[in-house]
Amino acid sequence: MDANKGVLVCGEIAEGKLATITIELLGIGRKLADEVGEELSILLLGSVSANLGKDAIAYGADKVYVSDDSLFDKYNSDAYTQAAANICRKIMPSVMLLGHTDIGMDLAPRLNGRLGGGLAMDCLSLSIDPATKFLVTTRPVYGGNAHATGISKTARPQMATIRPKTVPGAERNDSRQGQVIVIEDKVDPTTLKIKIVERIKEQVEGVKLEDAEVVVSGGRGIGSKQNFEMIKELALALGGAVGATRPVCDEGWTPSSLQIGQSGKVVSPKLYIAVAISGAMAHITGCLGSKYIVAINKDKDANIFNVARYGIVGDYKEILPALTAKIKELKKA
């Protein structure tokens, strides 16, 4: 029998409220907890954490563990790892869920290393095996070319991270009952080895990538930083956001926050226009959720055409200006 029981969600707080990803994690967490017939708990760290207990319970948590130490207000890798590890050792969850966000991607592996569990990151889906009751994770590998399913037979906790917008958010039910438990242990600041010196917000012009309904993305074939202006113009004309592939960000033609792909952002807009992108899997996995993919590439055999709905084979330098102009014209009408 498994000594570990229950599902624990590591929640994130954004602007004084539960982050959307947290609500999504509670949703999937509840589902998994119900399937194994165990409790769903959530860990919230930060000054406002105590106030959010009610919300967390309404979204499905049975127990809410809070620590209102202001040390946790801004993500601190050492502090969060310590606090989460401590809580885990106390309540010994069977499953732990985190968001595949910049916080989760840093915290989950550290936590896993400290606790000796089994972790699968960037999961596309989670389920419980009806026979063994193990958590079954499905995640993309080889840049998205394949999917791998995995389990942890003995290592506990079974950990998984999941990207925002992968699973639906939990339904809010204010009549739900639950417990808010304050964590007494404090993190000793002298044990924190990493010192945060400053945070730099990157100014991104225009529409934010994650929320955009239209994304215009450029690849290596764009050729230069100047040429990337054409992508921006088309995005502007369509009221959309600008995206880029990893090589483009490597070259410094765009800020890295615009990177779409396996190691960047995953977006699912209504319309995704891939310009001069060959369609390597590592990029495509970042946009496959889009409703319509349009490809513009001068190589008719480029892989991008295998996933696109519409395409033009040609030199983007000749197509984009005309496209932008026509879009502007049609929008005026």
| Count of residues that bind another protein according to CB under 8 A | 107
Any contact of residue 189 with another protein (CB under 8 A)?
no
The CA R_g of the chain, rounded to the nearest whole Å, is 22
CA angle 85, 91, 93 (to 5 degrees): 80
330 touching another protein, by CB under 8 A? yes
Q: Do 42 and 61 touch, CB atoms closer than 8 A? A: yes
Structure tokens at 183: 């964590």
> Which of 47, 181, 288, 289 touches another protein by CB under 8 A?
288
Q: By CB under 8 A, what part of segment 31-90 binds another protein?
A: 75, 77-78
Q: Does 165 bind another protein (CB under 8 A)?
A: no
Name residues contacting another protein, limited to 306-325 (CB under 8 A): 306-315, 318-323
Q: Which of 83, 91, 120, 162 binds another protein (CB under 8 A)?
A: 120
H or E segment to which residue 123 belongs? strand 118-123
Residue 219 contacts another protein per CB under 8 A:
no
Instruction: For residues 209 and 258, give the distance between their C-alpha atoms in angstroms, rounded to a whole number.
Output: 7
Q: Is 167 in the site for another protein (CB under 8 A)?
A: no
Task: Kindly indicate which of the ranges 3-11, 39-47, 63-71, 291-299 contains the residues binding another protein, using the contact rule CB under 8 A.
Answer: 291-299
Region binding another protein by CB under 8 A among candidate stretches 51-59, 86-94, 175-183, 249-257:
249-257
Between 72 and 75, name the residue whose CB sits nearer to another protein: 75
Place of tokens 């490597």: 250
DSSP 227-262: GGHHHHHHHHHHT-EEEE-HHHHHHTSS-GGGBBST
Is 123 a residue that touches another protein (CB under 8 A)? no
Determine the interface stretch with another protein among 34-42, 166-174, 182-190, 194-202 (rule: CB under 8 A): 194-202
DSSP notation for 156-181: SSEEEEE-TTSSPPPPP-TT---EEE
**Which listed range, 1-9, 36-44, 179-187, 267-275, lies at the site for another protein (CB under 8 A)?**
267-275
| Listed ranges 29-37, 90-98, 137-145, 165-173: which one lies at the site for another protein (CB under 8 A) | 137-145
Buried/exposed 112-131: b ≥16 CB within 10 Å, e otherwise = beebebbbbbbbbebebeee
Near another protein in 89-118, by CB under 8 A: 101-103, 105-106, 108-110, 112-114, 116-118
Q: Decide whether 150 or 176 has the Cβ nearer to another protein.
A: 150
- Spatial separation of the C-alpha atoms in residues 63 and 69, rounded to whole Å: 19
Rounded-to-integer distance, Cα 109 and Cα 98, Å = 11
The reply to whether 148 sits near another protein by the rule CB under 8 A is yes
Give the range of 24-32, 43-51, 59-67, 278-286 binding another protein by CB under 8 A: 278-286
The answer to whether residue 207 forms part of the interface with another protein (CB under 8 A) is: no
Pairing, β 214-218 against β 271-275 = parallel
